[in-house]
């Protein structure tokens, strides 16, 4: 049978890209105020490009009271003054593009800050023109002093907030200072699609869409039913025995993804990337990208990767599930760390070997890989006391949860109670303030105490470092198109230990491989065990082209050795 030739467009840039996630407040300060900024990021673009990334994503940079550090927007059209101004953003976009890279912005469509002028007007009276821009309801019980229904927010607390002046309740899926916009109002939809288009015209290449599963709620405001889930997981959005079906992943939200996709495709150039922050069962979150065909978001984060046990068995099972739910042309987005969760190396017990293996997995999987700033040098979670936390979420828990439970909650939520620990300044060198800001400035969060040994400068010079491991795998991923475009097939070879995750990445049909001189299939072997193991070679004539160790293993005869926690690509 003749292979079907897929047109090149089936591989737009976003499908093969690699993304570096920047928390702007913490990356690089250019003006010595202790807060990272856009010009700081401009000065580090060569670093990101030379490391091998093709795209950057910035956590929110728009004007905000910064209670939730930009996830509470007070003006969707202006850059927050502490990060610079709109010209600086223009400059950053131009500088990114001049390096042949792309840039994603973070867009918070679900809610605004309670200090956004729209909300302030909405609060003035029951009949003002912006009242219906937010989700307002009468309460129950005489006098309306009980919330309209049993809906809880995403962090386990009350989601309805009483407004004395107008005697009604407003809905907030996250913190009380983040009121939800009412997407059942056509004016809101039109305005927010306008925001989407505005920054695309300004030059952004796409967006990471913040809690996008929460856009619509049940129009009849029915109670959320009971469920068996006590603690939420990435695939179980309910919590405290209450499901979130009426407030999350509503069918109207899933349909709205098509409108977002259409809005991006109406702009020139039409190839942009929309990646959603969602949680729920894998099959359901895939629907955000389209039911029968890919006509919704381009991709969604599959946060299950973060919760998966760090074993070959765990990832084999996860990959099977993802390959079933996200068959080509769908593609999931993988991130092992971000600005909300414990730093990956700390989850892995501080082991550099495991962090290297994790990098090898992330950069060889069939997914859009996202790497959080500092992950490439193994920046660790900082221990910042809850009392001193700058994170707006921490006081919310601190006031409601008994003290003795807080550390437990912090652990089981993977750092979500006090997120300062994963947001500390980037560790550039071993000088005072780790090169993040001027030596005499006070960084907005303390630099991790380990900056003298864990920093970019020392790792760049050390060929065995984690930094250089990321760099090597990123290079191989760019060179071997099978790794960025190919399908994924899990392997079970006779004699292969169960502690090794093995898969083939292959471009089919073969004609597509023309994009590269390299072979159209490669093999990946990841040894999750802390002992050596012998690997049968899947076909004759293969060579290891990259390893998490500096030197690659030699294939002798029909097998080769993998060292403890070693990951390799064979071609």
Q: Which of 93, 108, 426, 526 binds ligand GLC (CB under 6 A)?
A: 108
Calpha distance 135→392 (Å, rounded): 22
Binding mask 291-330 for ligand GLC (x = CB under 6 A): ----------------------------------------
Min dist. Cβ of residue 381 to ligand GLC (A):
16
How big is the CA angle at 53 (ends 209 and 547), to the nearest 5 degrees? 120
Residues 88-107 within binding reach of ligand GLC (CB under 6 A): none
Calpha distance 496→494 (Å, rounded): 6
Report the run of H or E that residue 304 belongs to, with start and end. helix 304-307
Min dist. Cβ of residue 277 to ligand GLC (A):
6
Nearest alpha-carbon partner for 175 in 113, 266, 225, 230: 113
Beta carbon nearer to ligand GLC, 37 or 340: 340
In the numeric block, the tokens 């010595």 are attached to: 32
Min dist. Cβ of residue 45 to ligand GLC (A):
24
Q: Which of 29, 37, 68, 180 binds ligand GLC (CB under 6 A)?
A: 68
Min dist. Cβ of residue 62 to ligand GLC (A):
12
Residues 496-535 within binding reach of ligand GLC (CB under 6 A): none
Min dist. Cβ of residue 368 to ligand GLC (A):
17
Calpha distance 120→116 (Å, rounded): 6
Our finding on whether 339 is near ligand GLC (CB under 6 A) is: yes
CB-based closest residue to ligand GLC:
71
Sign of the torsion formed by the C-alpha atoms of 3, 9, 12 and 15: negative
How many residues belong to the chain? 571
Other residues' Cβ atoms within 10 Å of the Cβ of residue 289 = 27
The tokens describing 224, both together, are: 């959320």
Our finding on whether 420 is near ligand GLC (CB under 6 A) is: no
Beta carbon nearer to ligand GLC, 409 or 493: 409
Phi, psi of 259 (to 5 degrees): -65, -40
Number of amino acids touching ligand GLC (CB under 6 A): 9
Residues 20-59 within binding reach of ligand GLC (CB under 6 A): none
Beta carbon nearer to ligand GLC, 59 or 433: 59
Active site residues: 210, 266
Beta carbon nearer to ligand GLC, 71 or 326: 71
Sign of the torsion formed by the C-alpha atoms of 35, 41, 43 and 49: positive
Beta carbon nearer to ligand GLC, 60 or 553: 60
Min dist. Cβ of residue 181 to ligand GLC (A):
12
Cβ pair 332, 324 in contact under 8 A: no
The tokens describing 47, both together, are: 């670093």
Q: Which of 29, 180, 217, 340 binds ligand GLC (CB under 6 A)?
A: 340
Give the pairing of strands 75-79 and 62-63: antiparallel
Q: Which of 23, 53, 57, 71 binds ligand GLC (CB under 6 A)?
A: 71
Q: Which of 37, 88, 210, 287 binds ligand GLC (CB under 6 A)?
A: 210
In the numeric block, the tokens 């049993």 are attached to: 150
Residues 269-298 within binding reach of ligand GLC (CB under 6 A): 277
Other residues' Cβ atoms within 10 Å of the Cβ of residue 468 = 18
Calpha distance 315→371 (Å, rounded): 18
Min dist. Cβ of residue 108 to ligand GLC (A):
6
Sheet bearing 500-506, strands edge to edge: 487-490, 500-506, 521-527, 567-570, 544-547
Our finding on whether 174 is near ligand GLC (CB under 6 A) is: yes
Beta carbon nearer to ligand GLC, 180 or 205: 180
Kindly list the residues in this chain that would bind ligand GLC in the complex (CB under 6 A). Answer: 68, 71, 108, 174, 210-211, 277, 339-340
């Amino acid at each position: 049978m003749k292979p079907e030739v897929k047109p090149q467009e089936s591989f737009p840039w976003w499908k093969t890209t690699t993304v570096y996630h920047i928390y702007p407040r913490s990356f690089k300060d250019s003006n010595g105020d202790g807060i990272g900024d856009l010009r700081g990021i401009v000065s580090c673009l060569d670093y990101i490009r030379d490391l091998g990334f093709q795209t950057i994503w910035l956590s929110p940079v728009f004007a905000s009271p910064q209670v939730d550090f930009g996830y509470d927007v007070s003006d969707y059209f202006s850059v927050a003054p502490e990060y610079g101004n709109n010209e600086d953003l223009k400059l950053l976009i131009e500088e990114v593009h001049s390096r042949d890279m792309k840039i994603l912005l973070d867009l918070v469509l679900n809610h605004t800050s309670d200090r956004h002028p729209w909300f302030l007007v909405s609060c003035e009276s029951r009949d003002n023109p912006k009242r219906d821009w937010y989700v307002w309801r009468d309460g129950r019980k005489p006098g309306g002093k009980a919330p309209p229904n049993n809906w809880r927010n995403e962090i386990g607390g009350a989601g309805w907030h009483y407004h004395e002046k107008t005697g009604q309740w407003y809905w907030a899926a996250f913190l009380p200072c983040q009121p939800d916009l009412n997407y059942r109002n056509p004016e809101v939809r039109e305005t927010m699609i306008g925001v989407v288009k505005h920054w695309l015209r300004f030059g952004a290449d796409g967006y990471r869409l913040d809690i996008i599963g929460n856009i619509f709620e049940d129009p009849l405001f029915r109670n959320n039913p009971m469920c068996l889930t006590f603690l939420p997981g990435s695939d179980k959005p309910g919590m405290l025995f209450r499901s979130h079906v009426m407030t999350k992943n509503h069918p109207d939200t899933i349909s709205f993804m098509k409108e977002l996709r259409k809005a991006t495709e109406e702009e020139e150039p039409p190839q942009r990337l929309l990646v959603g922050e969602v949680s729920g069962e894998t099959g359901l979150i895939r629907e955000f990208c389209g039911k029968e065909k890919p006509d919704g978001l381009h991709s969604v984060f599959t946060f299950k990767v973060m919760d998966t046990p760090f074993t070959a068995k765990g990832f084999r099972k996860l990959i099977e599930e993802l390959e079933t739910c996200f068959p080509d042309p769908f593609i999931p987005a993988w991130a092992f760390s971000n600005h909300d969760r414990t730093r990956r190396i700390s989850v892995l017990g501080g082991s550099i070997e495991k962090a290297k293996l994790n990098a090898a997995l992330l950069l060889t999987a069939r997914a859009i890989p996202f790497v959080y700033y500092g992950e490439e040098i193994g920046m660790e979670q900082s221990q910042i006391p809850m009392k001193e936390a700058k994170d707006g979420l921490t006081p919310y828990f601190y006031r409601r949860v008994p003290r003795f439970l807080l550390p437990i909650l912090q652990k089981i939520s993977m750092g979500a109670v006090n997120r300062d620990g994963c947001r500390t300044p980037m560790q550039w060198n071993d000088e005072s303030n780790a090169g993040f800001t001027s030596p005499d400035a006070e960084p907005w969060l303390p630099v991790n105490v380990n900056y003298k040994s864990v920093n970019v400068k020392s790792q760049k010079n050390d060929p065995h470092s984690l930094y250089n491991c990321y760099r090597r795998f990123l290079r191989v991923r760019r060179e071997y198109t099978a790794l960025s475009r190919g399908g994924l097939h899990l392997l079970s070879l006779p004699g292969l230990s169960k502690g090794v995750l093995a898969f083939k990445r292959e471009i089919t049909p073969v004609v597509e491989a023309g994009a590269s001189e390299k072979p159209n299939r490669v093999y990946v072997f990841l040894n999750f065990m802390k002992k050596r193991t012998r690997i049968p070679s899947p076909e004759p004539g293969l060579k290891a082209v990259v390893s998490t160790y500096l030197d690659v293993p030699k294939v002798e005869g029909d097998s080769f050795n993998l060292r403890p926690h070693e990951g390799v690509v064979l071609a």
